[in-house]
Chains A and B, each alone.
Chain A
Amino acid sequence: MPESSAIPGRGEAAPPVTGSLVRLPELEPKVCAVIRRVEAEDDSMDRLKALGICIGRQVELVKRGDPLIVRVFGSRLGISARLADRVLVEPCAGRCECPDGSKATT
Chain B
Amino acid sequence: MIADSPLANARDPGATVSKSHRFTLVLAGNPNAGKTTLFNALTGLRAKTANFPGTTIECRIGRAHIGGQPVTVVDLPGLYSLDSSSPEEQVAAQAVRGRLSDHSRADAVLLIVDATNLERNLFLVSQILELQVPTVVALNMMDMAEEHGLQIDPAKLQLELGCPVIPISARYGTGLDMLHREIARLAASVAEPVGFVPPKPACTGCSGCPFQARYAWTEDVSSRCVAHAHETRGRRTEKIDQVLTHPVIGVAAFFAVMFGIFFLIFQVAKIPMNLIDGFFAYVATFAAQHLPEGLWSSLLVNGVIRGVGGILVFLPQIGILFFLLSLIEDTGYFARAAFVMDRLMRRIGLPGKAFVPLLSAHACALPAIMSTRVIEDRRDRLVTILVAPLMTCSARIPVYTMLIALLFARSPIKASLTFTGAYAVGVAAALTMAWVFRHTILPGESKPLVLELPHYRLPSLRTATLQMLDRAAVFIRSAGTVILCISVGLWFLASFPRIKAPSPTASPATKVEAARDQLEHSIAGRLGHSLEPVLRPLGFDWQIGIGVITSFAAREVIVSTLAVVYGVGSDVAEEHPDSLYDTLRDARRSDGKPVFNTANCFSLLVFYILAAQCLPTQAVTRRETGTWKWPLLQIAYMTGLAYLAAFGVFQVLRHFGFA
Contact = CB atoms under 8 A, between A and B. Distances in A.
Interface in A40-76: 43-44, 46-52, 54-57, 62-63, 65-67, 69, 72-76
A99 B223 contact: yes
Contact of A75 (B117, B228, B245): B117
Given A99-B222, A100-B231, A74 B453 contact: no
A54 B218 CA distance: 13
B206 A13 contact: yes
B335 A78 contact: yes
Q: Which among B84, B86, B215 has the greatest number of chain A C-beta atoms within 10 A?
A: B215
Given A43-B85, A50-B84, A78-B335, A11 B449 contact: no
Interface of B: 80-81, 83-86, 116-117, 119-120, 123, 149, 199-203, 206-209, 211-213, 215-217, 219-220, 222-223, 226, 228-235, 237-238, 241, 245, 247, 335, 338-339, 342-343, 447-454
Q: Which 6 A-B pairs have the closest CB atoms?
A: A101-B231, A80-B448, A50-B81, A50-B80, A54-B211, A11-B216
Q: Which among A13, A57, A65, A75 has the greatest number of chain B C-beta atoms within 10 A?
A: A75
Contact of B84 (A38, A47, A69, A80): A47
B234 to A, nearest CB: 5
A33 B335 CA distance: 25
A80 to B, nearest CB: 4
Contacts of B226: 99
Nearest to B454: A75
Contacts of A47: 80, 84-86, 450
Given A11-B199, A83-B450, 6 more contacts: A10-B216, A62-B238, A63-B245, A99-B228, A101-B230, A102-B234
Contact of A77 (B202, B231, B233, B452): B452
A31 interface: no
Interface string A64-106: 0111010011111111101100000000000000011110010
Q: Which among A11, A14, A56 has the greatest number of chain B C-beta atoms within 10 A?
A: A11
A76 B452 contact: yes
Contact of B232 (A54, A66, A73, A102): A102
Nearest to B343: A66
A71 to B, nearest CB: 8
A46 B247 CA distance: 27
B342 to A, nearest CB: 5
A74 B233 contact: yes
Q: Which among B81, B149, B247 has the greatest number of chain A C-beta atoms within 10 A?
A: B81
Interface size class of A (residues with CB under 8 A): 35 or more
A12 B219 CA distance: 13
A9 interface: yes
B452 A51 contact: yes
23 contacts: A8-B216, A10-B220, A11-B202, A13-B203, A46-B85, A47-B86, A47-B450, A50-B81, A51-B450, A54-B211, A55-B209, A67-B451, A73-B120, A74-B119, A74-B120, A76-B237, A76-B453, A77-B450, A78-B335, A78-B342, A79-B450, A99-B226, A102-B238
A80 B473 CA distance: 37
A99 B206 contact: no
B213 A80 contact: no
Q: Which among A9, A13, A48 has the greatest number of chain B C-beta atoms within 10 A?
A: A13
Contacts of A99: 119, 222-223, 226, 228
B131 to A, nearest CB: 17
A43 B235 CA distance: 32
Contact of B234 (A9, A57, A100): A100
Nearest to A74: B117
A9 B203 CA distance: 12
A72 B343 CA distance: 22
